[in-house]
Structure 1
Amino acid sequence: MIAISLTFPVIAQSKRSTGLYLGGGVNMKRNYRIGNEADGYDKDNVTSFIPYAYYRSKNAAFEGFFGQYDFVANKLFSFGPAYQFFGEKYEANGVEDRKAVPMPGIFTRILLINFYFYKDVMGESDGTVTDIFIALPFTPTSSWKIIPRIGIQMYDENYVDHYYGISEKEATNSVFSKYEGKTGSKMYFTLNNDLQLSKSILAKFAYGFELYDKGVHESPTVYKRLVPTARFILLFKI
């Protein structure tokens, strides 16, 4: 399971946290799906233990399941290619398995406003994701950075139909009614924290929530609109 809400890019870091870090941690998310039998899912929560890599240079950044290259790299404007994993693992009796896939895209940033557009070229959903958000980092201390982030992700019909829709065949073979996906979205807020414990140890922890619109919530596989999320990652500099 990839808890995408917790692996989004938060690239503004202190100089001490640049370079390559490797480690791992745990992603946690309130379960909002019905009947999911994939690993890490139970009645109430989704928990995934993951290896984690973080790298940053002047132009390139890689964190978790996200990466980007900034052709401009200044405080006013950024532009370049990016990729991120989207979708989530879903397995239920009588329903075709769904899985997360990497989706390439492009991004631009104007001051604090970030625009990302991704396209599934792996053939999983053939869908698109548009992500628009504002992130405003500040530093209470020299070793602690807080990055609140608020945004919206918008999904096209192909994406919603694949990950949340139920085909006629699946409706016949499962307990779910037929559902044709339409455009959908989720609003989200995440409070990210980066704590430099030493020159070689970086802790990253976050908590927040996701709020799905009716395009997703009306799916017979979804029973909750407001979904709390959390993450803790411990990294060691290489």
Structure 2
Amino acid sequence: MKILTSKLLNTAALTLSFGVLTLASAQAETAPTVSTSENEKLGVQLGVNLRWNNSAYDLDDNDVSVLPSIFFDNGKYYARGNQIGTYLVNDGSNEVLAFVQPGGPSFDPDDAKGDLAQLDERKWSGLVGASYMRTTPIGGFKAQLSTDVAGRSDGTVARLSYLAKLTPGKWTIYPSAGLEWVDSNYNEYYYGISQKEADKTSLDRYKPDSSISPYISVNGTYAINKDWDLFLGQSVNFLADEQRDSPMVDSRVDYKTTLGVLYQF
């Protein structure tokens, strides 16, 4: 086992597809390290991944999608899956980022049944945020804050995370765990039932407060050769009571599984 070094921490990100994560999401915290050897002068990884999302929403079908991935990091600007940003501070022990990314779950009433099929669609939001990470001998500790600027939820999301790195053989594994706080605007958009929706269904109006919930993720890459990497990811988000009590939800857990390949240029 190796403790995550500052250089490798600076290239970690959790989200590895166009969409969240939940985290997620979701949220970019661990990712493959982009090589910049002589044979890979561009320092870019491009790939494709298959993502299976078992949503906590009460839907008939799980969401399966094939999505592109890109990773680039030149020490000043970066692209990590669905997050694009810039380094404001990057001194080896302290990292401050500014970023944009999509965020939040999605609810398609066409995939629902009964009264839920008459609800309005919930779409991903466009998030703008900043994060601070402190690298220590026992891993990385990260605080992140973002807010919706797409005018959908107008919500705010905050995360506290711990990140580490393991390197067994050709594997590079990034475990992460933390807590996520979301405000009432976020919960009302993604889990609330408006009065308009209640009037046209048999559902009661539901207006949730802000909430705090835990999440964990494990992402790993396997070096097939000097050009190709295999990626596996698993994220698990545990819904808070304010979210679980929504008539739209039938599970306490929302999890995503990702399988993909990356080519290094």
Pair 174,235 (structure 1): closer, same or farther in 2 beyond 3 Å? farther
- Cα deviation per residue 1:12-70 (whole Å; 9 max; x = unaligned)? 72646982122211112223212x4xxxx60xx33222122122222333222113322
Give the ranges of 4+ consecutive aligned residues of structure 1 lying more than 4 Å apart after TM superposition: none
Task: Note the aligned Cα RMSD (angstroms).
Answer: 2.2
Pair 73,12 (structure 1): closer, same or farther in 2 beyond 3 Å? farther
Select 2:122's aligned residue among 90, 93, 98: 98
2:30 pairs with 1:10: yes
TM-score (normalised: structure 2): 0.79
Q: Tell me how far apart the structure 2 counterparts of residues 73 and 191 of structure 1 sit (CA, whole Å).
A: 25
1:6-45 alignment, distance < 5 Å: 8-11=28-31, 13=33, 15=35, 19-34=43-58, 36=59, 42=61, 45=62
- Mean Cα deviation higher: 107-116 or 180-189: 180-189
Judge conservation of contact 1:13–1:145 (CA < 8 Å) in 2: no
The Cα shift of 1:229 comes to: 2.6
Q: Tell me how far apart the structure 1 counterparts of residues 229 and 52 of structure 2 sit (CA, whole Å).
A: 19
1:1-238 alignment, distance < 5 Å: 2-4=19-21, 5=24, 8-11=28-31, 13=33, 15=35, 19-34=43-58, 36=59, 42=61, 45-92=62-109, 93-111=117-135, 112-141=140-169, 143-238=170-265
5+ long unaligned stretches in structure 1: none
5+ long unaligned stretches in structure 2: 1-17, 110-116
Q: Secondary structure at the match of 1:90?
A: coil
- Cα deviation per residue 1:128-186 (whole Å; 9 max; x = unaligned)? 11121111012223x42111000122110111101110101101223532101210233
- Mean Cα deviation higher: 79-88 or 116-125: 79-88
TM-score (normalised: structure 1): 0.87
Q: Tell me how far apart the structure 1 counterparts of residues 200 and 207 of structure 2 sit (CA, whole Å).
A: 16
Judge conservation of contact 2:25–2:103 (CA < 8 Å) in 1: no
Q: Secondary structure at the match of 2:167?
A: strand
| Equivalent AA in structure 2 for residue 48 of structure 1 | S
| Equivalent AA in structure 2 for residue 195 of structure 1 | Y
Q: Secondary structure at the match of 2:168?
A: strand
Aligned-residue identity in percent: 21
Residue-pair matches, total: 230
Structure ranking higher in strand proportion: 1
| Equivalent AA in structure 1 for residue 68 of structure 2 | P
Q: Tell me how far apart the structure 1 counterparts of residues 78 and 191 of structure 2 sit (CA, whole Å).
A: 31
